[in-house]
Every structure is written in structure tokens, then in C-alpha cells.
Amino acid sequence: MPSLADLIEQYIKKLIQESEDRVVEIQRNELAEKLRCVPSQINYVLATRFTLEHGYLIESRRGGGGYIRIIKIADQDREAFYQRIFEAIGDAVSESKAREIIKALYEAGSITEREKRLLTIAVDRKVLQVPLPYRDELRALLLKSMIAGVLNAEEGN
């Protein structure tokens, strides 16, 4: 049986699929009421399952007319998507975050299954046997270089 978080995620993804522009605006309290949960559960799902690494952007506006806008990054936004991926990697990246980023690239159709496996192996802590924090810094450099190489190869550069 799916968890409440799974149900919330499925509901939001359905809304996004039904949207022509892959953008959905929700009001947290209204959604919580509709799904019979507390607003903090909506926050949890947004924070963990609708992240940049998963191919989503979240914008919010507080106040009485406030909303949460969830944007599924489309193919025509590839350049912005890649820029945000590189920003998410930063100067250092953990193994778990690197895996999330690789998964997002795969789900966005930016890398193949084979490339996904190779990138995942390369960022593994067993491969990068360097003490922290250098390991996370090395992982970030490698991941950025490999992603840039794969993306440039796709474009024929």
C-alpha cells in the first residue's frame, strides 16, 4: 500500500501531466485539505520529491494570495536545466546527491542507461578513496566534467 507521501506525489505529478505547460500552481492548505493531510506533509513531499535533481523547480509566494508553483523542466529548457544541475553540484557534492542528479539527468532523457551506470560508478565512495572533504570536492569536479563531456558529445561538439 502506498504511503501518504507517495499518494501526494502521484497526485501532484498527475496535475503536472494534465497541464499543457508542465506548470502547476497549488495552495498548500487547499491541497492538504483535499488530500486529508497536514500542510507539513505537502512541504515534505515538495522538499524531497520535487527537487531540481528530480527535474522540478519550485517557486513560492507567501501571504494570503500565496501559492506554490511546481515546474517540470521541459526539454526546451535544457540549457537552464544543465546550468541548474551544475549549480546544484557546486564545489562539493555528496554521493547521495550525485546519484540524485544522475537520476534526474536520466529521467530527463539527457543521458542513456549506460551513461547513468558509468556516472554512478565513477562517483561511488569506494572508487573515490580520498578523505572528506576532498572526496566530495573531487566528486563534484568529476561529475561536472563527465556531464559536460556527455552533453557536448550529444551536441556533436
pLDDT number for residue 82? 74
Domains 4-72 and 75-154 share a fold: no
Superfamily of domain 4-72: Transcriptional regulator CtsR, winged HTH domain (3.30.56.130)
Q: Is 72 helix (H, G, I), strand (E, B) or coil?
A: strand
Taking residues 50-74, report their average pLDDT. 75
DSSP state at residue 62: -
Give the mean pLDDT of 19-32.
87
Residue type, 151: L
Query: What does the alpha-carbon distance between residue 121 and residue 124 come to, in Å, rounded to a whole number?
Result: 5
Cα–Cα distance, 142 to 130 (Å, whole number): 13
Looking at residue 9, what is its pLDDT? 93
Architecture of domain 75-154: Orthogonal Bundle (1.10)
Neighbouring C-alpha atoms within 13 Å toward the C-beta of 56: 22
Indicate the length of the chain as a whole number.
157
pLDDT for the residue numbered 156: 46
